[in-house]
Amino acid sequence: MSTIITVSNQKGGVGKTTTSAALASGIFLTGRKVLGIDLDPQGNLGFCLGAGTDHPYTILDVLNGSVPAKDALVHTEESCDLLVSDITLSSSGLDQLPGRRECILRDALAPVMDQYEYIIIDTPPALNLLTVNAYSTSDFLIIPMSSDILSLVGLAQLKETIESVRSAFNPDFRVLGILLTKFNGRTLLSRDVLDMANQLAGQIDTKVFDTRIRNGVAIAEAPAHGESIFTYNPNSPAVQDYAEFLLEIAPAIHLKEA
């Protein structure tokens, strides 16, 4: 069975897609079979992982039953397989489908799930039906949080959503931790955010990861060159931070020799 990890925060601009891409490409580079799933209508995960923009099918076609997941897979040359998205996902109409709408993704993935050791799901900056589907499908949740005060807003609502999903659909769903991004340990603001994040982590029965992601231009440049951050500039401090992050979570996600 696959290990399924969702990366989610209802606030935008916190490094969610960058973190999803780093997880997918980093695990792929260890020799594992990885599937990346983009549930964000902006469709940036596919771009970050070299999938381009012109595809006959998207994740929406899979979710609404138009095509099976195996026919919508995008195979990239130097990264993981993908189920891509585009702006049509923003008006998906999934709430009109019959049955347990919160489990549409899990049911759609079932035929291909055993083909992959890891599945990484990027989510929209909202707590909507797409996000709930990701939670209902996943083993683990990683919450990226930019090192600013506004990023702390909304975690109470996130806690309620997590508890609802556990109660109704996925009792084994586990919050792996909060990942601080755009972190500068020399500033008072980043240190204050770290203190508050630790308090909030306790409220959702998780932790703040020891690894913090610094700013780095290589993170923004790599997708434009069609490369993983790890191959584009492995010496970038931010890229090294993501490498350390993979090492930190490796035991929890059963990724040996990461």
* pLDDT > 60? residue 34: yes
Residue 97: what pLDDT? Answer: 74
- Please report which confidence band the pLDDT of residue 220 belongs to, taking 50, 70 and 90 as the band edges: confident
Residue 108: what pLDDT? Answer: 95
Has residue 256 been placed in a domain?
no
Sign, CA dihedral 137-59-128-196, equals positive
As a whole number of angstroms, the distance between CA 162 and CA 180 comes to 20
Angle 237-249/16-28 helices, nearest 10 degrees?
Answer: 70
AA identity, residue 178: I
Has residue 224 been placed in a domain?
yes
AA identity, residue 229: I
Residue 191: what pLDDT? Answer: 86
Hey, what's the torsion of the CAs at 202, 126, 2, 252, to 10 degrees?
-20
Residue 81: what pLDDT? Answer: 96
Mean pLDDT of the chain: 91
Domains contained in the chain, number: 1
* pLDDT > 90? residue 24: yes
Residue 257: what pLDDT? Answer: 59
Residue 135: what pLDDT? Answer: 97
Full strand arrangement of the beta sheet holding 118-122: 74-75, 81-83, 34-38, 118-122, 3-7, 140-146, 174-181
* pLDDT > 50? residue 78: yes
Sign, CA dihedral 236-179-107-254, equals positive
* pLDDT > 80? residue 96: no
Has residue 105 been placed in a domain?
yes
* pLDDT > 60? residue 112: yes
Residue 29: what pLDDT? Answer: 94
Residue 59: what pLDDT? Answer: 95
pLDDT digits (tens, 9 = 90+) for 172-201: 999 999 999 999 888 888 888 899 889 889
- Please report which confidence band the pLDDT of residue 258 belongs to, taking 50, 70 and 90 as the band edges: very low
Range from 5-19, 52-66, 144-158, 165-179 carrying the lowest mean pLDDT: 144-158
Instruction: Count CB neighbours of 33 within 10 A.
Output: 14
As a whole number of angstroms, the distance between CA 211 and CA 206 comes to 15
Has residue 116 been placed in a domain?
yes
Mean pLDDT of 16-34: 96
Mean pLDDT of 149-172: 86
Has residue 255 been placed in a domain?
no
Domain that holds residue 81: 3-249
Classified as helix, coil or strand, 38 is strand
Has residue 49 been placed in a domain?
yes
Has residue 254 been placed in a domain?
no
Q: What is the CATH number for 8?
A: 3.40.50.300
